[in-house]
Amino acid sequence: MSGLDTIRRLTKPVPFRHTAYAAIIGPTAIAVLTTQTCGYADGDGWGRRNYWVDAAIDVDEFDRRAWDRQPRNAGLFGRLMIDTSLANAPSVAALRGKSPSKVNLSLEILGRRVDGFHEIRSVVLGVGLFDELDIASTDDGSIELTCDDPALPTDDTNLVVQAALALKRHCGTPDHGARIRLTKRIPVAAGLGGGSGNAAVALQALNRLWGTGLDDDALRSIGASIGSDVPLFFAMPSSMVGGRGEEVTPVELAWSGWVLLVFAGVAVSTADVYRAWRAGDRSVAVADRAERLLLARSAAEVGALCVNELEPAIFRVAPIVGELHKAVQRAGAGHARISGAGQTAYVLFDDPEEAGALRRKLDECGVGVGACVVRTLNVPGV
């Protein structure tokens, strides 16, 4: 598909300084964005205007020879393809990024720290439920966020705005601005890291758009200052997490498969859950649990090792989540767990048909307010 086949005019054109091309790899396609002063056809013949060209190209149809010549270090929001044949190394003016979600395969609470946070140990796996961010750079110093979910705040209480402001402060660049459109698919306060992933994508995209030149370690540190879960999204698809969440080590899991996510339909406050946690909520210790999780090769093996020591506190704070958990277990998912400090029950599967069958059964029984089957991200091409 040609980018010009889907060309559309910006209603409020951004004053782009350079012609630029960017390609972002998603789960099944490459989204191509370009800001270009180019020819267009109208009643008066050919003219020259600024356009935003947005095309979807099937991965199998993409020119991989050209792709192989491009840099690989564009970060979580996707790989950038800069047309290096253009003069003066043109800059990118807009990006589209997909923000993934996560499940905690294990979440052990080691105790309360002197700074008030809790020391944790967790194995985290990325899964294919995505939010999407469209980000355009401006030079008016303002950060403007819009969202398709009217219930989600778009002021400086949103982690995306906090991430942009934190990056500006860190780099001392008050004139840098951005217009950001957030399309939500990940439920809010669900234990899936939706807001934290949004912030990580915003940091990496704006670092590129603004040319601030920070490496992932610096961006991860900025992320940690606004949310404990933000750093883990710099280590997708899977990681070992420690400290209060800021200590992140990428790891490889032997297992990959499918995850059924079931939503209770209630936002759960992470702060309330941690305040409700008691030392007696700890589970029976399993020697080398994390290491065994990494080596397990089937959904049954992984599921048997999964644990969330916040579950008792979650069920005290939000009893409806406890009811959901029991209902999913009664439906045949003995290894169902709750992810993070949220409302989402998850079940692991090797076979997507089995996952779909349980989803339909839960739907017929009226369990939860919704469910979906997603792929784990530790699979090439996802």
Asked if the structure places residue 367 within a domain, the reply is yes
- Are 226 and 271 members of one domain? no
- Are 179 and 223 members of one domain? yes
Nearest-angstrom CA–CA distance, 277 and 259 = 27
Asked if the structure places residue 380 within a domain, the reply is no
- Are 173 and 75 members of one domain? no
Q: What is the pLDDT of residue 20?
A: 31
* CATH at residue 307: 3.30.70.890
Nearest-angstrom CA–CA distance, 76 and 31 = 14
- Is the predicted pLDDT of residue 209 greater than 80, yes or no? yes
Parallel, antiparallel, or unpaired for β 29-42 and 20-25? antiparallel
195, 211, 236 — which closes off a domain? 236
Asked if the structure places residue 106 within a domain, the reply is no
Give residue-wise pLDDT tens across range 52-99.
223 322 323 333 333 333 333 333 333 332 222 223 334 568 999 999
What tokens were used for 33? 């964005």
Give residue-wise pLDDT tens across range 102-132.
999 999 998 888 888 899 999 999 999 999 9
Cβ(222)–Cβ(166) below 8 Å? yes
236, 265, 294 — which closes off a domain? 236
- Are 230 and 270 members of one domain? no
Our answer to whether residue 229 is catalytic in this structure is: yes
Q: How many residues belong to the chain?
A: 382
Asked if the structure places residue 114 within a domain, the reply is no
Parallel, antiparallel, or unpaired for β 177-183 and 143-147? parallel
- Are 209 and 257 members of one domain? no
- Are 266 and 369 members of one domain? yes
The mean-pLDDT minimum among 8-12, 340-344, 368-372 falls in: 8-12
* CATH at residue 201: 3.30.230.10
Asked if the structure places residue 242 within a domain, the reply is no
Q: Which residues contact 308 (CB under 8 A, 6 or more apart)?
A: 104, 106, 107, 337, 338, 339, 340
Asked if the structure places residue 247 within a domain, the reply is no
Cβ(204)–Cβ(133) below 8 Å? no
* Count of other CB atoms within 10 angstroms of residue 228: 18
Amino acid at 209: L
The mean-pLDDT minimum among 28-37, 259-268, 366-375 falls in: 28-37
- Are 78 and 174 members of one domain? no
Q: 367 lies in which domain range?
A: 253-375
Which residue out of 98, 102, 168, 184 is catalytically annotated? 102
190, 208, 236 — which closes off a domain? 236
- Are 150 and 217 members of one domain? yes
125 DSSP assignment = E
- Are 230 and 260 members of one domain? no
Which residue out of 60, 140, 229, 350 is catalytically annotated? 229
The mean-pLDDT minimum among 71-75, 166-170, 230-234, 289-293 falls in: 71-75
The mean-pLDDT minimum among 160-164, 242-246, 299-303 falls in: 242-246
Domain count, the chain: 3
Give residue-wise pLDDT tens across range 294-311.
999 999 999 999 999 999
Where does residue 185 fall: left (phi above 0), alpha (psi -120 to 50 degrees), or beta otherwise?
A: alpha
**Residue showing tokens 């998850």:** 346
Asked if the structure places residue 102 within a domain, the reply is no
Asked if the structure places residue 111 within a domain, the reply is no
- Are 224 and 260 members of one domain? no
Rounded to the nearest integer, the mean pLDDT of the chain is 79
Residue-by-residue DSSP string for 299-320: HHHHHHH-EETTHHHHHHH-HH
- Are 262 and 367 members of one domain? yes
- Are 302 and 205 members of one domain? no
